[in-house]
Structure 1
């Protein structure tokens, strides 16, 4: 964590501690001693207190004590020490990649099954169309997350949400371009946009979904529609 950010958290912690009742103040004092005895780093202690203090101050309004909220000092210390390691937040590139792989997998399987079911009566989808449509569609879904869905997550500052007019124009324009990419590439000659056997395309789609699953576990790839 950056030093400036850590200093801000330390400052916020101090301000919150000044608002504690005597009983809660003693609880935090004992908790700090317990965390020091457990050899927890100063940064980890600061972050742990930053999670606890706002809840304590808020609970005081209803007469709820630290012990009622978090149990004994030893129990809270144990919970802090054994807290699961949080994975880093997914980056825009990984979110786009997650979307693109999912779209490629779903479209490849869906269109190929439709083609097999209709016994060749359905217009075949070229591999270039599937790839480019998946890549561009993945970015469209990322924009939906960036301008809409991320602000529905718990703890997000909804005051930073862009205006609905700006959001609507961006999403409508990107959706239109996505359709243009889809339609434009489908008209390309098969030399540039070859059509593979539906079974092969289904296999490629399955591989894309499998790769997505592995990457999600390794890199904490967040889906754009996740809240």
Structure 2
């Protein structure tokens, strides 16, 4: 084989391999960046969960406000609850979303908790009447629906806690763009509060190591292949 042919063969192996190696390194770096972001998110969330509750704001604070513990006073609005499909460690069922009038003059939706799908009788989950003080976690509205399942307001089928759509469907008027996940109350009463799952999978380090290992392995293969392509016996 001529030197020119060997050079073309070497370049045909080396250039695509180097491009792929750089791509793998880039994916590893991206996962390291995701690891830093996720670690910070977990630390901030754990700090918010451990902090004492503060007065609930009408407008969400700038930045990441989810899982912030808040408290507010007011009364539940009359009207039917909205049942939103849910699966918890207690099995399938529904979140019970109820309108609430805050003493500060604005309205929101409160996720009062979970009811099993076999216990959806309204008589078992009557909201308290009169003034109450609530404590729970701020949660961002969930517009649209769930994966492959869109909310159907006309049919009364809900798969996500879309505050604006639920408020419109129930006719309670404008609500703030977040809802309250109520803390656990009476363990024997429905709905069952305090079932919010706060968990963030953090596998970014293993993903990063996998991409870097693949890049290193490819680099070794490229080295071997290019040496073979220039072997004098070819």
- Tell which structure's C-alpha radius of gyration is larger: 2
Range of TM-score over shorter length: under 0.3
Give the alignment's TM-score, normalised by structure 2. Answer: 0.25
Give the alignment's TM-score, normalised by structure 1. Answer: 0.25
| Higher normalized strand content (fraction of residues) | 2
